[in-house]
């Protein structure tokens, strides 16, 4: 019996010391740094009409909005030497007799962009009420709140969240 146990111990030792692994191969290609978060965006051109001065833009079917997502709206405030100037709303416009503001709220299905102020909105004229262009951007809340990115700067946001202008869908508002 001692011989059998000794033989079994030696055999076990031999199998344990043998390895079917060959030499280590070269390392694989490096993975991407961090998390690859892709922002989603679409664009609307709207007219604000009395009495509500409010529009509803439904999210396109290819834009998924979760309860926890951050929805940001940017107003095309001006074009300076061919460069679009985007401002994060709410955005307040001041006049000598008062002020008004572009503002918004949203659900998981749509965005309500509206005007509010302490002046008669009917006196604003077409500069502020007709053919207004907005970009609506949807970002995951965890990354948007912890990224350290200045979300008020649309160009910076676009670069950091891999938003391509060619991919931004223009949505018609009825």
Is a pLDDT exceeding 50 seen at residue 35? Answer: no
Q: pLDDT of 132-171, one tens digit each?
A: 999 999 988 876 666 678 888 888 888 887 787 777 888 8
> Closest by alpha carbon to 47, among 2, 114, 98, 106?
114
Q: Which fold has domain 40-171?
A: Immunoglobulin-like (2.60.40)
* Cβ contacts of 129 within 8 Å, gap of 6 or more: 47, 48, 49, 53, 115, 121
Q: How much is the pTM?
A: 0.74
* Confidence label for 39 from pLDDT (cuts 50, 70 and 90): confident
Buried (b) or exposed (e) across 102-126, using 16+ Cβ within 10 A?
Answer: bbbebeeeebebbbebeeebeebee
107's tokens: 């659900």
Among 40-44, 63-67, 165-169, whose mean pLDDT is lowest? 165-169
* Alpha-helical regions (H) of 21-172: 126-129, 141-146, 154-160
* Confidence label for 36 from pLDDT (cuts 50, 70 and 90): very low
Domain map (residue ranges) of the chain: 40-171
Contact 138, 39 (CB under 8 A): yes
């Amino acid at each position: 019996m001692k011989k059998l146990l000794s033989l079994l111990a030696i055999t076990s030792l031999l199998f344990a010391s043998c390895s079917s692994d060959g030499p280590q191969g070269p390392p694989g290609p490096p993975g991407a740094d961090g998390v690859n978060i892709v922002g989603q965006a679409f664009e609307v051109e709207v007219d604000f009409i009395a009495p509500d001065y409010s529009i509803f833009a439904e999210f396109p079917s290819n834009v998924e909005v979760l309860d926890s997502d951050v929805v940001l709206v940017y107003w095309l405030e001006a074009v300076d030497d061919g460069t679009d100037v985007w401002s994060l709303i709410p955005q307040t416009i001041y006049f000598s007799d008062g002020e008004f503001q572009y503002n918004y709220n949203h659900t998981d299905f749509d965005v309500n962009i509206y005007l509010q102020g302490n002046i008669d909105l009917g006196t604003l004229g077409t500069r502020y009420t007709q053919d207004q262009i907005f970009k609506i951007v949807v970002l995951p809340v965890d990354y948007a709140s912890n990224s350290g990115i200045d979300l008020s700067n649309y160009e910076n946001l676009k670069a950091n969240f891999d938003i391509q202008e060619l991919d931004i869908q223009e949505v018609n508002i009825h």
